[in-house]
Amino acid sequence: MKIKVRSIFKLIMGLFLAASVLLSSSCVSQRKVKLLQEKSKQPTTQFENTKTSTYKVKVGDHLYIRVYSVDPKTSKFFQTDFPYLMNSTYQYLNTYLVDEFGFINFSFIDKLYVKGLSVLEVKDLIQKTLDEYFKETTVYIKLVNFQVAVLGEVNSPGNFTIEQDQINIFQALGLAGGVTDYGNYKKVKIVRQSQTGSIIEIVDLTETKILESPYYYLMPNDMVYIEPRNAKSWAPSQFQYGTLVAFISTILLGYTIFAP
What mean pLDDT do residues 21-48 have? 55
Q: Which residue has the higher pLDDT, 14 or 182?
A: 182
- pLDDT score for 128: 92
Quick one: what percent of the chain has pLDDT higher than 70?
A: 63
Could you tell me the pLDDT band of residue 247, with boundaries at 50, 70 and 90? low
Q: Which residue has the higher pLDDT, 36 or 77?
A: 77
Q: How far apart are CA 18 and CA 24, in angstroms?
A: 10
- pLDDT score for 193: 84
CATH 3.30.1950.10 positions along the chain are 62-143
Q: Which residue has the higher pLDDT, 173 or 40?
A: 173
- pLDDT score for 71: 82
For the cut 80, the answer to whether the pLDDT of residue 207 exceeds it is yes
User: Which spans in the chain are helix H?
Assistant: 2-26, 72-77, 88-93, 119-131, 169-175, 241-258
CATH 3.10.560.10 positions along the chain are 30-38+146-228
Angle, nearest 10°, between helix axes 2-26 and 241-258? 160
Could you tell me if 78 and 130 are in contact, meaning their C-beta atoms sit under 8 angstroms apart?
Answer: no
Q: How far apart are CA 104 and CA 141, in angstroms?
A: 13
Q: How far apart are CA 126 and CA 109, in angstroms?
A: 9
Using a 10 angstrom Cβ sphere, with 0-12 exposed, 13-18 middle and 19 or more buried, the burial of residue 245 is: exposed
Give me the chain's average pLDDT, please: 77
What mean pLDDT do residues 122-148 have? 89
For the cut 90, the answer to whether the pLDDT of residue 114 exceeds it is yes
DSSP character at residue 207:
B
Could you tell me the pLDDT band of residue 35, with boundaries at 50, 70 and 90? low
Could you tell me the pLDDT band of residue 2, with boundaries at 50, 70 and 90? very low
- pLDDT score for 81: 54
Our measurement of the distance from residue 136's CA atom to the centroid of its chain's CA atoms, rounded to an integer in Å, reads 39
pTM higher than 0.95: no
- pLDDT score for 224: 97
CATH superfamily label, 62-143: wza like domain (3.30.1950.10)
What mean pLDDT do residues 159-163 have? 89
Q: Which residues, 6 or more positions from 237, have their beta carbon under 8 angstroms from its beta carbon? A: none
CATH fold of the domain at 30-38+146-228:
Outer membrane lipoprotein wza fold like (3.10.560)
